[in-house]
Amino acid sequence: MRTVNYVIILFLAVITCTVAKAQDPEFSQFYANPLYLNPAYAGSVDCGRLGLNYRNQYPSLANAYVTYNVSYDQSLPSISSGFGLLVMNDAQGDGGLVRTSAALFYSYNLTVSSSINVRFGVKGAYYQEKLNWNKFIFASQIDPTTGNIDPNSGEPPPTKDNITTVDFAVGAVMSYSDLFFVGIAVDHLTQPSLSFYDNSDSKLPMKVTVNAGAMINASSRGDLLISPNVLYMQQENFHQLNAGLYINKYPFVVGGWFRHNFQNPDAVVALVGLTYNNLRVGYSYDFTVSQVGSKAGGAHEISFAWDFCIYKEKSRKHIRAIKSPSF
């Protein structure tokens, strides 16, 4: 069974780095990873925000896709701005293909009226992608009778095993009276090449993300909040629509998403979160309904966030934060 797992992992990873064009890692707790969702969210909280995210997709396949990141963003009310930093590591095929990135963010806050607030954001990122060729196991290496693996694949390695490039993104988010918000982001404006072969045109395609949601007060005491949301992503020929709902009853949050890739339904996501003062912890699981996921398992995802101020309250100017879900 372990041999079969490695072959499946190899198939997923090699398709990514040779034939198909690379795509971005995917998270299900979209709003627990705000900088990754849209650069305009940088500094969109009243103070500073530290975030940690971890995702293990297809856990039955021995670390097929493991992604984690750490982020920090801070508002700069005196100049109506915000900044952020995000570092991410994405490993595929038990480390056979590893992408590491570091990104800087800047956003500007524009108060249009007493009800409408708009933020604009930009991102500059540095990418490094590394191919560990010796970790791959090809079908020709496997003895069909015994299942033993020949360490010599005989497959010609790519012309290079390490790639570095830079990339940029832009985004905008608008909120209306803390009741409704909508955002759009465009990633990979330069469509950088991530090919390990000199004669291959494997670029990172431009990605468009559109998100929208509402914050509905469902009780007279204001302690029950319902938030319906929708999120659409398009990256070259890949299209994905997510529809979800959060229910907030302090200190608990429960939620769910349905993800559809247009060709077929992909996953149902269940989420639970806990908020205590300025700390937030969330866990979600993707119940994958596609044919691949039914054999490979779903996805575990964990998030942690801490909001804090580095200024004294009396000495700082405040901004209008973008009110959106925490997870």
Range of the domain at 91: 2-315
Whether residue 239 is contained in a domain is answered as yes
Whether residue 91 is contained in a domain is answered as yes
Whether residue 320 is contained in a domain is answered as no
- 26 CB contacts (<8 Å, ≥6 apart)? 55, 57
Whether residue 220 is contained in a domain is answered as yes
Whether residue 156 is contained in a domain is answered as yes
Whether residue 326 is contained in a domain is answered as no
When divided into structural domains, the chain yields a total of 1
Whether residue 324 is contained in a domain is answered as no
- 237 CB contacts (<8 Å, ≥6 apart)? none
The pTM assigned to this predicted structure is 0.86
Q: For residue 238, what is the domain's CATH number? A: 2.40.160.40
Whether residue 41 is contained in a domain is answered as yes
User: Cα–chain-centroid distance for residue 156?
Assistant: 33
- Would you write out the chain's pLDDT as a tens digit for each of its 327 residues? 444 444 444 444 444 444 345 678 889 999 999 999 999 999 998 889 999 999 998 887 766 789 999 999 999 988 999 999 999 999 987 777 899 999 999 999 998 988 899 999 999 999 998 888 776 666 666 766 766 666 666 666 777 878 899 999 999 999 998 899 999 999 999 998 877 777 667 788 999 999 999 999 988 787 899 999 999 999 988 899 999 999 999 899 999 999 998 888 889 999 999 998 889 999 999 998 877 656 677 899 999 999 987 665 555 566 777 888 889
